[in-house]
Structure 1
Amino acid sequence: MKYLYLFFAVTFLTPLFSSAQSNYKPGYLVTLKGDTLKGYIDYKEWIQNPRGVNFKTNVGANQTSYSIDNCNAFGANGLEYYRRYILPISQDKVQASNLTIGVDTTTTTDTVFLKTVTSGKNITLLTYNDGIKRRFFIAENNSTAIELIQHLYLDPQETSRIVTQKTYTRQLQQLAAKYQPQDDKLIKDIPAIDYSEKDIATIAYKINGETNYATVQSATGSATRFFVGLALNDAVSKFTTSNAIGSNASSAFPQITFGTDILINKNVGDLLVRLEFGVTGNKANYSFNGQDANSTTYTTLKYNQSTGFFNPQLLYNFYNTSASKVYIAIGTQLNYSTYTNKSYSTRYTLSGGYSQISDDVFPDIKSFFVNVTGKVGYVINNKLDIYAGYNPSTRINDNSGFSITTSSLKIGINYLFGSK
Structure 2
Amino acid sequence: MALSCVAVAQRNYVPATIITSQNDSLKGFIDFRDWFVPPKEIIFKQSLADAAEKHFGPGDINGFRIGEPDIEYAVRKVSIDITKEDFSGDKEAWDRTIQDTLVFLRKLTGGTYNLYEYVDVHTRVHYIADGKNTPVQELEKVTAFVKRSSGDGIYTDNRYQKQLADLFADNPAVAKKAASVTYHEKNLTRLFVTYNVAKDPSTAVITDERKKIKYPLSFGLMGGMSFNTYDFKGPAFKFDGPSKSNSSPIGGIWLNLPFGRVARNFSGVIELMYKQSKTSSISTTGYFSRYDFRYLQLNTMIRYTYPTKTGIKPYVNVGMGNGIAIKVAQNDLANPSRPDEWQENIPGVRKHEQSLVGGIGVTIYRLGAEIRYNSGNGFSPFVGGKTAFNSLQVLAKFSF
The question of a shared fold, defined as TM-score above 0.5 by the shorter chain, is answered with yes
Aligned to 2:29: 42
Q: SS at the partner of 1:284?
A: strand
2:71 to 77, 80, 96: 80
The change in CA–CA distance for 1:122 and 1:391 in structure 2 (over 3 A counts) is same
Contact 2:277–2:293 under 8 Å retained in 1: yes
Q: SS at the partner of 1:222?
A: coil
Mapped to 2, the partners of 1:90 and 1:363 lie a distance apart of: 67
Q: Is residue 2:327 matched to residue 1:339?
A: yes
Mapped to 2, the partners of 1:255 and 1:146 lie a distance apart of: 62
The change in CA–CA distance for 1:148 and 1:412 in structure 2 (over 3 A counts) is farther
How far is 1:389 from its partner? 1.0
Aligned to 1:95: none
How far is 1:371 from its partner? 3.1
Q: SS at the partner of 1:401?
A: coil
Please identify which structure carries the higher strand content. 1
Computed over aligned residues only, the root mean square deviation of the Cα atoms, in angstroms, reads: 5.0
Contact 2:293–2:325 under 8 Å retained in 1: no
Farther off after superposition, 238-247 or 334-343: 238-247
Q: SS at the partner of 1:322?
A: coil
Number of equivalent positions: 327
Q: SS at the partner of 1:342?
A: strand
1:410 to 368, 393, 396: 393
The change in CA–CA distance for 1:231 and 1:29 in structure 2 (over 3 A counts) is same
Contact 1:241–1:401 under 8 Å retained in 2: yes
The change in CA–CA distance for 1:55 and 1:284 in structure 2 (over 3 A counts) is closer
How far is 1:284 from its partner? 2.5
Mapped to 2, the partners of 1:316 and 1:148 lie a distance apart of: 45
Contact 1:80–1:220 under 8 Å retained in 2: no
The change in CA–CA distance for 1:119 and 1:322 in structure 2 (over 3 A counts) is same
Contact 1:270–1:317 under 8 Å retained in 2: no
Contact 1:313–1:332 under 8 Å retained in 2: no
Contact 2:30–2:42 under 8 Å retained in 1: no
Mapped to 2, the partners of 1:88 and 1:409 lie a distance apart of: 60
Q: Is residue 2:258 matched to residue 1:271?
A: no
Contact 1:175–1:207 under 8 Å retained in 2: no
Aligned to 1:251: 246
Q: SS at the partner of 2:283?
A: strand
Mapped to 2, the partners of 1:357 and 1:55 lie a distance apart of: 68
Mapped to 1, the partners of 2:327 and 2:192 lie a distance apart of: 63
Q: Is residue 2:266 matched to residue 1:281?
A: no
Q: Is residue 2:231 matched to residue 1:238?
A: yes
How far is 1:410 from its partner? 0.8
How far is 1:341 from its partner? 1.8
Aligned to 1:365: 350
Q: Is residue 2:210 matched to residue 1:223?
A: no
Q: Is residue 2:302 matched to residue 1:313?
A: yes
Contact 1:122–1:179 under 8 Å retained in 2: no
How far is 1:122 from its partner? 7.3
Q: SS at the partner of 1:36?
A: coil
Q: Which amino acid aligns with 1:383?
A: R
Q: Which amino acid aligns with 2:107?
A: T
Please identify which structure carries the higher helix content. 1
Mapped to 2, the partners of 1:279 and 1:344 lie a distance apart of: 26
Per-residue CA deviation, residues 96-128 of structure 1 (Å, 9 max, x unaligned), is xxxxxx9xxxxxx99974543456847422469
The change in CA–CA distance for 1:393 and 1:143 in structure 2 (over 3 A counts) is farther
Mapped to 2, the partners of 1:176 and 1:397 lie a distance apart of: 71
Q: SS at the partner of 1:82?
A: strand
Mapped to 1, the partners of 2:105 and 2:222 lie a distance apart of: 41
Mapped to 2, the partners of 1:64 and 1:281 lie a distance apart of: 46
Q: Which structure 2 residues correspond to residues 3-152 of structure 1 after superposition, within 5 A?
A: 24=15, 27-31=17-21, 35-42=22-29, 45-48=32-35, 51-54=41-44, 65-68=54-57, 70-76=60-66, 79-84=70-75, 113-118=104-109, 121=113, 123-126=115-118, 136-141=125-130, 142-143=136-137
Contact 2:254–2:269 under 8 Å retained in 1: yes
Mapped to 2, the partners of 1:261 and 1:134 lie a distance apart of: 32
Contact 1:257–1:276 under 8 Å retained in 2: no
Aligned to 1:376: 360
Q: Which amino acid aligns with 1:241?
A: G
How far is 1:250 from its partner? 3.0
Contact 2:31–2:44 under 8 Å retained in 1: no
The change in CA–CA distance for 1:402 and 1:264 in structure 2 (over 3 A counts) is closer
Aligned to 1:387: 370
Mapped to 1, the partners of 2:125 and 2:389 lie a distance apart of: 48
Aligned to 1:164: none
Q: SS at the partner of 1:400?
A: coil
Contact 1:327–1:377 under 8 Å retained in 2: yes
Contact 2:14–2:32 under 8 Å retained in 1: no
Structure 2 gap segments, 5+ residues each = 1-10, 47-51, 89-98, 131-135, 144-153, 166-174, 197-204
The change in CA–CA distance for 1:306 and 1:221 in structure 2 (over 3 A counts) is closer
Contact 2:139–2:159 under 8 Å retained in 1: no
Q: Which amino acid aligns with 2:42?
A: G
TM-score, normalised to structure 2's length?
0.61
Q: How much identity, in percent, do the aligned residues show?
A: 11
Mapped to 2, the partners of 1:231 and 1:386 lie a distance apart of: 10
Mapped to 1, the partners of 2:295 and 2:108 lie a distance apart of: 49
Structure 1 gap segments, 5+ residues each = 1-19, 57-62, 92-101, 103-108, 150-166, 191-199, 291-295
The change in CA–CA distance for 1:358 and 1:206 in structure 2 (over 3 A counts) is closer
1:261 to 256, 262, 271: 256
Q: Which amino acid aligns with 2:269?
A: L
